[in-house]
Structure 1
């Protein structure tokens, strides 16, 4: 019955080699603190006895190379940006020309108002693709009526 005492006194050894009075979290924290103390005592990057900073920290040989690379990268980036702007402007001009041509074609089609072409204009506005949308309502009868009116318009 003593084995089931949840609120009673702490058990001795749990069978894993760790005593009940030794806290694993406290041991871990102590180990981490000792490692941090060892890092803080590292003398590798301190100021020299004369008060000067080591020359290896002042002059980095990679520093000149990194500056050269940075300048090259900036020049390369400027060139790429200028090329992108020229391509973008060319594409914009092409789009403007195409839009103007399409607008002129649309205006000329709207100006065509000859009798008997009404159903042809309606047919141009309709999508006669039977597989346009699966979720839309079935408009096959309307499509067939418009096609028949386009082919044989009503006579008044």
Structure 2
């Protein structure tokens, strides 16, 4: 039994069920065949623009060589048949050459930047290596001087060693810890040594 839309309902009755999709396809094929016969009767005449007339009444259905209706393929074929104006063709060619020139210029600039970056990186590594060598030599010299001072056991030079290790100028060390009390204790010990 068919409902208001033409679809058969599922029932347990004895009537044979018909596939709605198959019925729709058969109906469409018969309409297309009718349109083709009308188009064959009219002949393949071209209109004023050099285009063949459309096969369907509403312009939605075109048929290609395989017999498949495809409106997009037909539209693309009509577009290819039309000639674009000379000014547009020249503009497209100029645009293409301009884009190729821009591409080649950007690739050349990229190569130049890479070479420049490579050179700067090599210079930086060289500078870093020189700086490391200078630091190593300075550290070795200061270590040798420190070891030499530590090995010096001359009497009466103890306070000079302590004085070199302590910074007694309060203006130079603003960001360090407050060691003014320690400084005052060391100065008082230097002036009046402890008696044992």
TM class by shorter chain equals: 0.5 to 0.7
User: Could you say if the C-alpha distance between residues 124 and 73 of structure 1 is closer, same or farther in structure 2, counting changes exceeding 3 Å?
Assistant: same
- TM-score when normalising by structure 1: 0.54
Structure 1: segments with no counterpart, 5+ residues:
1-46
Aligned equivalent of 1:62: 102
- Does 1:112 pair with 2:152? yes
Q: Secondary structure at the match of 1:68?
A: helix
State whether structure 2 residue 195 is matched by structure 1 residue 145.
no
Moved more, 65-74 or 126-135: 126-135
Q: Pick closer, same or farther for the CA change 1:109–1:137 going to 2, 3 Å.
A: closer
Structure 1 residue 57 displacement after superposition: 6.2
After superposition, the Cα gap between the structure-2 partners of 1:96 and 1:137, relative to the gap in structure 1 and judged at 3 Å, is: closer
Distance in 1 (CA, whole Å) between partners of 2:164 and 2:122 is 43
5 Å-filtered alignment, 1:53-132, equals 56=95, 60=99, 61-131=101-171, 132=173
- Which runs of 4 or more aligned residues in structure 1 lie more than 4 Å from their structure 2 counterparts after TM superposition? 54-59, 153-156
Mean Cα deviation higher: 56-65 or 68-77: 56-65
Query: Which structure is higher in RCO with an 8 Å CA cutoff and minimum separation 6?
Result: 1
Runs of 5+ consecutive residues of structure 2 not aligned to the other structure:
1-75, 81-91
